[in-house]
Amino acid sequence: MKNIRGQAALEFLAGLSLLIAMSVGAASIVQAEWSRTQCAQAVFKATHTALRGLPLGRSKVRVRIVATHDSITGEAQCGKSKERITLLRLEAARF
C-alpha cells in the first residue's frame, strides 16, 4: 500500500512540474507578444502624429521618423523585434 501512495505522489509531482513549466512558457509568449504590440502601437502613434504635423510627445519607445515627399515612415527597435510603419500623405496617395 505504501508503494501505491508513493507512486501516486510521484506522478502528481511530475504532472504538477509539467503544468508549471507549460504555464511559465505560455506566460513568456504572452508577455513577448504584449511588448511587441505595445511597441507597434507606439510606432503607429508617433508616425501618425508626425503625419499630422504635430510635435512628437514623450514616448517609452524611441521612434525614428523619416519623411519623404509622399510618405512618412516610423521605425523602432523594441527588444528583439523591429517595427516599421509607412503612412502615405493624402496629397500623394493613389486610390
User: Is residue 65 scored above 70 in pLDDT?
Assistant: yes
Q: What pLDDT, on the 0 to 100 scale, is given for residue 93?
A: 59
User: Is residue 90 scored above 90 in pLDDT?
Assistant: no
Average pLDDT for residues 3-20, to the nearest whole number? 88
User: Is residue 27 scored above 90 in pLDDT?
Assistant: yes
Q: What pLDDT, on the 0 to 100 scale, is given for residue 94?
A: 65
Q: Which residue has the higher pLDDT, 46 or 91?
A: 46
- Could you tell me which of 90, 62, 67 has the C-alpha nearest to residue 78? 62
Give the contacts of 93 (CB within 8 A, at least 6 positions apart).
70
Q: What pLDDT, on the 0 to 100 scale, is given for residue 95?
A: 63
